[in-house]
Amino acid sequence: MSIDRREFLKTLGVAGASLSGAKALAKSTPEPDAEEFYAILHDISLCEGCQECEFACAAANNLPEPADDDYPDAEIKRQLKPEQWSVINAVETSVGEVYTKQQCMHCAQPACASACLTQAMNKTKEGPVTWTEGKCMGCRYCMVSCPFDIPKFEFDDNNPKIGKCQMCFDKLKEGEVPACVENCPADALTFGKRSDILREAHKRILDDPDSYVDHVYGEYEAGGTSWLNISPVPFEELGFKTDLETKPYPELTKGFLYSVPSVFILWPALLMGLREATRKEDKEEIGGADHE
């Protein structure tokens, strides 16, 4: 069915592609090779909540370090901020206190990148979703679209930036690993190709089924992400969003985008046809008089 649709679109697209955004469709569905993306696994059962990753993140990205009184505490929920791209939260659960890490999930097909009208949000072929300041208009549609509510905006700045984890894209290009992974003293973070990381996550669950719930968060959420989590307790208990779509979020707009070229070609033809059909016999030139 989807092939038929694509064929249909191609045929239509030939006529009105440039104006109507048919080209966009081809672009919005690159069928990314999600297995080849880089990914990071956070093993919640190993995390000690030491915040080393937060400090490493701040240092690597020229962001302010977390304040002394700003540490994981089960009483409060620490939030991502434009200048804090990664937060550790303590959560009191049935197995005692565990620590979660929140940052950009780097979806395989990100809603933010498909929402962005300037390509400031961009899915790189290596996996990270990056943000480019010179392109961004500050419209905040990425924030509206992101199912994980990750991008944060500097509302108090006259030249505001969007702040979110870039998966240390610059380091990745140099062949290094992201700062948080590099600096985790508890080995709770593992970096590698997504296919390998996914296999590792399932292996840990299989090897020790009593210590983990059988769910790799991020394997299917929002169509698959480059951050994967495994946990000793169900993810609802940790406050993770568990009502997300399992298909990529850009799919939600696909039906509408598909209809655009059709409307763009059919409407003018239909309208002109209607106009001819309802025309009174050569009464007068168009709008000879506007007011009778």
Partner 1 sequence: MSEQALTENYAPKQSFWKFFMSELKPRGSVLTVFNMISVPMVLLAAVLIVIRFIYGLSAVSNVTQSVPWGLWKGFNVVTGVAFAGGAYVLTFMVYILGLEKYKPLVRVTVLNGFLAYTFYAFALILDLGKPWNIINPIIGNSFGTSSILFLVAWHFMLYIVAQLIEFSPTVAEWLGSERARRNLKRLTIGAVVFGITLSTLHQSGLGALFLMAKGKIHPLWYSEFIPTLFFISSIFAGLSMVIFQGSILQKVFAYQLDSHSDERHNIMIRGLSRVCAIAMFAYFFLKVIDMVHNHTLGYLMTAEGAWYMVEMIGFVLVPMLLFVYGVRIGTPFMIKLASLMTLIGIVLNRMNISVIMYRWDQIPRYIPSWMEIVVTVSILFVQVWIFRWVIHRMPVLRTMESMTHSAQK
Q: Contact residues for partner 1 (CB under 8 A)?
A: 21, 23-25, 27-28, 79, 81, 111, 114-120, 134-141, 143-145, 147, 149, 152-160, 241, 243-245, 249-250, 252-253, 255-257, 260, 263-264, 267-268, 271-272, 274-275, 278-280, 285-287, 290-292
Q: Tokens 């598909």 — which residue?
A: 258
Q: Which is nearer to partner 1, 206 or 270 (CB)?
A: 270
Q: Which is nearer to partner 1, 196 or 245 (CB)?
A: 245
Q: How far is the CB of 185 from partner 1 (least distance, A)?
A: 30
Of the candidates 174, 173, 175, 153, which has an alpha carbon nearest to the alpha carbon of residue 164?
Answer: 153
Q: Which is nearer to partner 1, 210 or 281 (CB)?
A: 281
Q: How far is the CB of 77 from partner 1 (least distance, A)?
A: 12
Q: How far is the CB of 217 from partner 1 (least distance, A)?
A: 16
Tell me how far apart the 2 most distant CA atoms of the chain are, in Å: 86
Q: Which is nearer to partner 1, 155 or 207 (CB)?
A: 155
3-state secondary structure 9-28: HHHHHHHHHHHHCHHHHHHH
Q: How far is the CB of 241 from partner 1 (least distance, A)?
A: 8
Q: How far is the CB of 146 from partner 1 (least distance, A)?
A: 8
> For residue 5, what is the DSSP state?
H
Q: How far is the CB of 244 from partner 1 (least distance, A)?
A: 7
Q: Distance from CA of residue 140 to its chain's centroid?
A: 14
- CB distance 109 to 223 below 8 Å: yes
Alpha-carbon distance values, 52 to 46, 55, 78, 87 (Å)? 14, 5, 16, 11
Of the candidates 26, 27, 30, 33, which has an alpha carbon nearest to the alpha carbon of residue 224?
Answer: 33
Q: Which is nearer to partner 1, 17 or 180 (CB)?
A: 17
Q: Which is nearer to partner 1, 217 or 249 (CB)?
A: 249
Q: Distance from CA of residue 271 to its chain's centroid?
A: 40
Of the candidates 164, 201, 224, 149, which has an alpha carbon nearest to the alpha carbon of residue 42?
Answer: 201
Q: Which is nearer to partner 1, 64 or 185 (CB)?
A: 64
- CB distance 100 to 89 below 8 Å: yes
Q: How far is the CB of 226 from partner 1 (least distance, A)?
A: 19
Q: Which is nearer to partner 1, 59 or 259 (CB)?
A: 259
Give the relative orientation of helices 251-277 and 2-20 as an angle to the nearest 10 degrees.
60
Which residues have a Cβ under 8 Å from the Cβ of 282 and sit 6 or more positions away? none
Q: What is the dihedral of CA 115, 155, 61, 30, to 10 degrees?
A: 0
- CB distance 43 to 53 below 8 Å: no
Q: How far is the CB of 22 from partner 1 (least distance, A)?
A: 9
